[in-house]
């Protein structure tokens, strides 16, 4: 059974460019989470969806960040315009219920030059 799938695995782009990260959750999971991991701040929740609806986006750092979940099998996290301080590893995770563990993808390593 496929786990959470993220693409791309690595992204290097110049400051000011638009970046789109993609995630396919585990089939049947109704919750999806976007995290950012840095050495300084550790793992931080950016936003999560329940049944495709955004529930809590208080972790989204700025208006430059947006996330969508058009259907149960796909989500995107977009940064426009990107800045060097956005460089981090971005993880997507999904869960089958509130008291179920979250399953993580392998992440997208983003570098903004």
| Residues of the shown chain interacting with other proteins in the complex, contacts defined by CB under 8 A | 4, 31, 33, 42-45, 48, 50, 55-56, 91, 93, 95, 98-107
Q: How far is the CB of 16 from other proteins (least distance, A)?
A: 28
**Of 2, 11, 1, 5, which is closest to residue 93 (Cα–Cα)?**
5
- Residue whose token pair is 């585990």: 26
Grouping H, G, I as helix, E, B as strand and the rest as coil, residue 86 is helix
Q: How far is the CB of 11 from other proteins (least distance, A)?
A: 15
Q: How far is the CB of 51 from other proteins (least distance, A)?
A: 12
Q: How far is the CB of 85 from other proteins (least distance, A)?
A: 19
Q: Which is nearer to other proteins, 78 or 103 (CB)?
A: 103
Strands 10-13, 108-112: parallel, antiparallel or unpaired by DSSP?
parallel
100 DSSP 8-state letter: S
Q: Which is nearer to other proteins, 17 or 38 (CB)?
A: 38
Q: Which is nearer to other proteins, 74 or 104 (CB)?
A: 104
Grouping H, G, I as helix, E, B as strand and the rest as coil, residue 85 is helix
Q: 18 phi and psi, to 5 degrees?
A: -85, 140
């Amino acid at each position: 059974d496929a786990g959470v799938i993220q693409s791309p695995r690595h992204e290097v782009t110049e400051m000011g460019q638009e970046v789109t990260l993609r995630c396919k959750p585990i089939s049947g999971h109704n919750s999806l989470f976007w995290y950012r991991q840095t050495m300084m701040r550790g793992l931080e929740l950016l936003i999560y969806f329940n049944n495709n609806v955004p529930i809590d986006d208080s972790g989204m750092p700025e208006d430059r960040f947006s996330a969508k979940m058009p259907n149960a099998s796909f989500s995107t996290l977009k940064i426009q315009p990107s800045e060097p301080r956005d460089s981090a590893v971005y993880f997507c995770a999904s869960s089958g219920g509130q008291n179920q563990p979250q399953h993580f993808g392998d992440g997208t390593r983003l570098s903004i030059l």
